[in-house]
């Protein structure tokens, strides 16, 4: 059987309130050659029944269920296993987000027509619990310079929304990357490595509607709360140095990227300057870890 052109991975946990609308927004897209792979992280609400119902009605919906909650990062990795060919395109989907009509088709057309583009970043608007638009996120990232140093510099310096993983990505690029959903804040390094490997296009037009509500991970403020999302079985808050992790991972991504020795050296110097610029945040990681050890604070440092 021919593999579908696009694989959409939708990790979910206790998403009964919004999962139906998320699924419907995919199934009603003008572009239909995709598999929607839903990975349920041991939901205890009506999510399994809702997803089973859609899987029974539409062959494009594939429903996978874990008997226990293994964390949001594990679930994001799990849906990537549905990629069967390097020629496919892939995106992650949020169980509470909605795609406007035509978004998927537009992103597919960009990757079809432009082989030098590795990722398409969608237009983004914010919606509330009722689905009403409450604002837009104008901090887009459009990185189309043929010079890898210029792309790397722009990604480090720009203030942008981290939604490229919810755009559309080349599976062939994903399979080669060192960065993935393996640690908190991975999306920031993910964008960095994508820029080292090719162009990132911001596509105007139909938008990704991101839902902000009380139960979303965007509301998390403490390490303990974050661990409930990331490592539900972990004991205690543990130590955490996100900015140190990101610095290390940027270097690791650079060493694995297909760039010339000259460009690698130029970008390495850029990273060295970036460490100096971020020294306050790096120091705060250490200070906050000490405060957490002494039970004086559990605030997350980003």
| Cα 203 from Cα 184, distance rounded (Å) | 27
Block means of pLDDT (10 residues each) for the chain, length 302 residues? 92 95 97 98 96 97 94 94 97 95 97 98 88 76 96 90 91 96 91 97 92 63 61 58 92 97 97 94 86 69 58
* Cβ–Cβ < 8 Å for 28, 103: no
* CATH number of the domain where residue 156 is located: 3.90.550.10
236 and 147 part of one domain: no
Q: Where is 197: in which H helix or E strand?
A: helix 186-197
In a domain, 93, yes or no: yes
130/242 same-domain check: no
Q: Is residue 170 part of a domain?
A: yes
What is the C-alpha to C-alpha distance for residues 20 and 239, in angstroms, rounded to an integer?
A: 37
Residue (of 150, 97, 149, 99) closest to 120 by Cα position: 99
Residue 210 lies in a domain: yes
What is the domain range of residue 39?
6-218
Alpha-carbon span 159 to 169, nearest angstrom: 21
Closest CA to 121 of 177, 163, 179: 163
In a domain, 301, yes or no: no
pTM: 0.90
pLDDT value for 301:
58
User: Tell me: the pLDDT tens digits for 43-68?
Assistant: 999 999 999 999 999 999 999 999 99
Number of domains in the chain: 2
Give residue 237's pLDDT. Answer: 46
What pLDDT, on a 0 to 100 scale, did the predictor assign at position 262? 97
Final residue of a structural domain among 194, 218, 242: 218
């Amino acid at each position: 059987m021919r593999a579908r052109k696009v694989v959409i991975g939708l990790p979910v946990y206790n998403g009964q309130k919004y999962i139906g609308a998320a699924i419907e927004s995919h199934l009603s897209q003008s572009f239909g050659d995709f598999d929607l792979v839903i990975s349920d992280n041991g939901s205890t609400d009506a999510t399994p029944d809702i997803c089973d119902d859609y899987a029974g009605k539409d062959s494009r919906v594939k429903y996978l269920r874990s008997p226990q909650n293994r964390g949001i990062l594990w679930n994001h990795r799990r849906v990537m296993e549905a990629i069967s060919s390097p020629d496919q395109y892939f995106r992650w989907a949020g169980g509470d987000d909605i795609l406007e009509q035509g978004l998927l088709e537009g992103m597919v057309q960009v990757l079809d027509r432009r082989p030098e583009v590795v990722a398409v970043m969608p237009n983004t608007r914010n919606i509330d619990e009722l689905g009403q638009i409450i604002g837009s996120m104008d901090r887009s990232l459009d990185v189309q310079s043929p010079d890898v140093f210029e792309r790397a510099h722009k990604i480090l310096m720009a203030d942008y929304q981290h939604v490229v993983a919810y755009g559309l990505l080349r599976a062939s690029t994903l399979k080669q990357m060192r960065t993935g959903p393996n640690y908190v804040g991975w999306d920031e390094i993910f964008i960095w490595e994508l820029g080292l490997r090719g162009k990132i296009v911001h596509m105007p037009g139909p938008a990704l509607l991101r839902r902000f509500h009380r139960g979303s991970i965007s509301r998390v403020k403490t390490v303990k709360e974050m661990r409930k999302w990331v490592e539900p079985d972990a004991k205690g808050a543990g130590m955490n140095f996100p900015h140190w992790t990101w610095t290390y991972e940027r270097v690791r991504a650079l060493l694995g990227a297909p760039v010339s020795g000259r460009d690698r050296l130029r970008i390495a110097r850029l990273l060295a300057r970036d460490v100096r610029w971020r020294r306050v945040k790096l120091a705060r990681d250490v200070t906050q870890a000490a405060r957490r050890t002494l039970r004086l604070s559990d605030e997350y440092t980003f």
